[in-house]
Amino acid sequence: MSSRSVAVFLVCLVVVACRETPLSWQHGNLQVSVNDKLHVAVRSADEQAGPLTTGTAATEYIVTTIDTLRDFRVDKKESHAFSDDAGVGTQWVIQGVADSPDQKIRKVVTVKVYSHFPDLMLLQAAYVNEGDKPLGIRQWVNHHYSISPVQDTVVGWSFQGESTGERRDWVLPLKPGFYQRNYMGMNNSDYGGGIPVTDVWHADQGLAVGHVALEPRLVELPVAVDAAGETIVQVSKTYEQPYALVPGDTLRTDETFVLIHRGDYYTALKQYGTLLQARGLVFPEPEEGAFEASWCAWGYMRDVTLDEIRGTFPKVKSLGIKWVTIDDGFQQAEGDWHVNTQKFPGGDAQMKTLVDEIHAQGMKAMLWWAPLAADSGSQLLRVHPDLRLINAGGKPQQITWWDAWYMSPGYTGTLNHTKETVDLFMRQWGFDGLKMDGQHMNAVPPDYNTHLGGTDPEQAVRDLPRFFDTIWQEAKQINPHAVIQNCPCGTCMSVFNMPYMNQAVASDPLNSWQVRLKGRAYKALIGKTAYFGDHVELSDGRSDFASSFGIGAVLGTKFTWPKENPAVKEDNLLTPEKEQLWKKWFMLYHRKMLSKAPYRGELYTLGYDLPETHVVQKGDTLHYAFYSDRWDGAVELRGLEDKVYTVRDYVNNVTLGEVSRANPTLPVTFTQHLLLEAYPR
């Protein structure tokens, strides 16, 4: 958009806003209106789509210890153009009052739209106590919208960025009676954080809400579906103890957003990620090494021996795999990261020798690590008990999975220990990359440890990304091409930790569906990224390479060979039959390298375009991946230019026919998956 067109855009918005009562304006397809009770309603102007939201109601309000304040009599309004790091736009400030004999509260709503972010609006509400008595506030709510149902057994599809011990799907169908809180704080002892976005979409359009702070916030983004199929979404903060709003004091909500869009959560997360980057959250470019296939010794589990690791090298190398990961079990304890001499009799020097052997084989070495965790009986905590994070109950916060304690992420002692550990791993032992692992990495609770000097306990929540920045900076200083993998097992990875890694991971997927839906989210948020589909043994049938391959994920495996450790199931053994399959897919991966190519997530809407379809475009060739238990019918190949394309099943080397933009459909029959390439004739 030119500077002149931006200026015209801003003038038009301001004129409409100033002459209309109630206020109303349009930004892209987003229609906004503010009535005399200071209710901010949003609608879609897309004439090709059905109704999106229902009715006009209070969208921003507070819940007090006395009642719920929804209606505020508008008495002031103004608008002006603005410019900041994210671009140029228009800002409205609208004020209203709710008063009674017992209280007087002023509400100030600030709304912003950016010219380069159509269909998206930012909002922040402030509540000022203009009365003479204190007021207890239990909750504030922004963007409380009712989304119209559709006539279907599924009333919509949704992206919900919560993390819990259930390790639920990030993408869920919505049905009457559905509810999920989507709290961004701790939901279980080890689980919390996530992506602070809720998106609900129908076949023709969707609506997303979330917060736009550049660090974690303890908010919730609940989704509820009533018996009639109407879906309620909002962004809110609930106080465990009422917030005391004394006379003259102001409570400000977090800055939040609403976005309407076509397509599914890919479209919403891409816009959200672009906005975060425009506001200062920087996602690093991936290293070339992050796209190379990986083998992990976790197939042997914690009882792995040096001989088993070394004995697997020939088979790893024969498959063209470039990374060898030494997993959990090498250390003395979580927190005591020097080697266990029962496993490495030669001490730390023997670990360095192992890394040298990996390098001599022409491969790279990655080391598993659980940062921020220290066993209760570790030497580290015996000497430095002050490193522990203390929860609201006055006790160390447990990491149940390892029976360990959280360390305070912003504490100088924790940061110094962490830097020393990275130096041990990468400078002294020579590892090329780090596999940071554990669901506990995704979030921390407020820290009440006295070493913080009486600062806000929630500062620990905000400090967590800076903890990972410390690791990132230290690792990159030692090895500028280091691959830093963040694998928060089973969680929806916190978007605020993403700037401090260069390889995202499916992180213990429960099935192939999760491999695909997680990859779609990362590719939307970050853009160009190396996404590791995790060990193929975690996919359906323990061998679904197609799910990683079809969405452009890096391939990985944890096979064991030539014999099994007695503690490990036979499932990991690379039998001669499995070896042929593994060889086929890894050879295909190295030839195609779709993990480096752009992902075209905007072409199909998940949940409505069947079969489930993903597209990766490499040059002028489009690679389509179709997934279904069974499919017998036509598929539509979208994204074609005005050319005739030859379509080939590149896995089985079978040509299926030709398509064009005018005639993009093709009859096919498959079970589980079908991977096709379409290239100009």
Which SS3 state, helix, strand or coil, does residue 141 take?
strand
**Which pair of tokens denotes residue 489?**
């097992």
CB 292 within 8 A of CB 322: yes
Q: Residue 3: pLDDT band by 50, 70, 90 thresholds?
A: very low
Q: Residue 55: pLDDT band by 50, 70, 90 thresholds?
A: low
CB 486 within 8 A of CB 505: yes
Tens of pLDDT, residue by residue over 229-247, are 999 999 999 999 999 999 9
Out of 27-36, 58-67, 563-572, which region has the weakest mean confidence (pLDDT)? Answer: 563-572
Average of per-residue pLDDT across 625-641: 98
Give the contacts of 245 (CB within 8 A, at least 6 positions apart).
127, 129, 134, 135, 136, 137, 251
Instruction: With CA atoms as reference, report the closest residue to 373 among 440, 423, 463.
Output: 440
Instruction: Determine if the pTM surpasses 0.85.
Output: yes
Give the contacts of 46 (CB within 8 A, at least 6 positions apart).
29, 204, 205, 260, 262
**Phi and psi torsions of 135, nearest 5°:** -130, 130
Tens of pLDDT, residue by residue over 518-572, are 999 999 999 999 999 999 999 999 999 999 999 999 999 999 998 777 777 788 9
Domains of the chain: 3-278 (2.70.98.60), 292-370+411-596 (3.20.20.70), 610-680 (2.60.40.1180)
CA distance 163 to 490: 8
Q: Output the DSSP codes for 560-621.
A: B-SS--TTS-GGGB--HHHHHHHHHHHHHHHHH-GGGSPB-GGGS-TTTSSSEEEEEEETTE
CA distance 83 to 90: 8
CB 157 within 8 A of CB 137: no
Tens of pLDDT, residue by residue over 323-363, are 999 999 999 999 999 999 999 999 999 999 999 999 999 99
CA distance 679 to 646: 5
The burial class, CB within 10 Å (0-12 / 13-18 / 19+), for 54 is middle
Tens of pLDDT, residue by residue over 125-138, are 999 999 999 999 99
CB 96 within 8 A of CB 75: yes
**Per-residue pLDDT, 342:** 93
- Per cent of the chain over pLDDT 70 is 96
CB 493 within 8 A of CB 269: no
Instruction: With CA atoms as reference, report the closest residue to 517 among 614, 629, 630.
Output: 614
Q: Which helix (H) or strand (E) holds 278?
A: helix 265-278
The one-letter code for the residue type at 157 is: W
Separation of CA 403 from chain center: 26
Instruction: With CA atoms as reference, report the closest residue to 58 among 232, 181, 211.
Output: 232
**Per-residue pLDDT, 22:** 67
Instruction: With CA atoms as reference, report the closest residue to 441 among 377, 395, 498.
Output: 498
Which SS3 state, helix, strand or coil, does residue 450 take?
helix
Kindly tell me if the per-residue pLDDT of 188 is higher than 70.
yes
Q: Residue 54: pLDDT band by 50, 70, 90 thresholds?
A: low
- What torsion do the CA atoms of 16, 17, 19, 20 make, to the nearest 10 degrees? 100
Average of per-residue pLDDT across 666-680: 98
**Per-residue pLDDT, 454:** 65
Mean pLDDT for all residues in the chain: 93
Q: Residue 402: pLDDT band by 50, 70, 90 thresholds?
A: confident
Strand-pairing partners, residue 555, are none
Q: Residue 492: pLDDT band by 50, 70, 90 thresholds?
A: very high
